[in-house]
Amino acid sequence: MGNILKIYHLKDEALIDLYNRLDKDLRPMPKKSDRSIDPYGLGLEDNDVDALRHAYISGVYTMEYSEETAELMGRLNELTSFDSSSTSAVSENMDLWNNAVGRTFGKKSKTWDELYLSLMKALKDNQLIIDLKDDRKYKGDKKIKRMPKFFVIKIKENKTGANTEFLDVRKKIVMTKIDFIAAIRQGKYPGYAIKKHSSGEFPYSTRDKFSFNNLG
């Protein structure tokens, strides 16, 4: 089994990287007593910094994994912050819109520097939603309101399109294809099975009630 470090710590790494950049280029970010940037300080929600945060992190995930993985990780983040209030619905729309912008530029960028510069231009060009009063609507899939008991998504594929790495969302562990197939054979993942193909074996979902399931 793989570890959880990269896919989950990538968010924190990208966040600190962005805030250090914005502290120099946009305006001073909130600081802790030791003068390091406080990523949870005041003035970072529902504004331009919030928009750039969602777009940048989503763009980084697109670059390091894939557009599909970036979208799923963003939607999973919305699930953990679920709130049924009307304010939350507007905030969710803003977040998902900006996530989508980030994925668009993530696909075009080769480095984090290039992604950052593209998003700063997107901010200037009004491509990001920076105000809850903005009436533009995100048209794609929205919140994952409920997760299945066993929830595995593919997060990486090789150049031929074959799935190579999988994330157990509930356990927060990363598995190779070999690991996942072995776990299915051991009965650890009800609802998943193994198909044989001329190119080898691959895991798939036998229960497809959830639109966000990406294992078919």
Give the residue numbers spanning the domain of 110: 5-124
Q: Are residues 67 and 19 in the same domain?
A: yes
pTM, whole model, 2 decimals?
A: 0.82
Residue 137 maps to a domain: no
Residue 135 maps to a domain: no
H runs (alpha helix) in the chain: 5-25, 48-64, 67-80, 86-108, 112-124, 177-185
Using the predicted structure, report yes or no on whether residue 156 has a pLDDT greater than 70.
yes
Q: Are residues 166 and 111 in the same domain?
A: no
Tens of pLDDT, residues 50-77: 999 999 999 999 999 999 889 988 887 7
Using the predicted structure, report yes or no on whether residue 28 has a pLDDT greater than 80.
yes
Q: Which pLDDT score is estimated for 142?
A: 62
Helix axes 67-80, 48-64, angle to 10 degrees: 130
Residue 147 maps to a domain: no
What is the domain count for the chain?
2
Q: Are residues 83 and 15 in the same domain?
A: yes
Q: Which pLDDT score is estimated for 75?
A: 81
Residue 58 maps to a domain: yes
Residue 143 maps to a domain: no
Residue 212 maps to a domain: no
Residue 18 maps to a domain: yes
Q: Are residues 12 and 107 in the same domain?
A: yes
Q: Which of 86, 109, 124 is the last residue of a domain?
A: 124
Residue that has been written with the tokens 């294992």 in this structure:
215
Tens of pLDDT, residues 75-129: 877 765 544 444 588 998 999 999 999 999 999 999 999 999 999 999 999 999 9
Q: Which residue has the higher pLDDT, 125 or 205?
A: 125
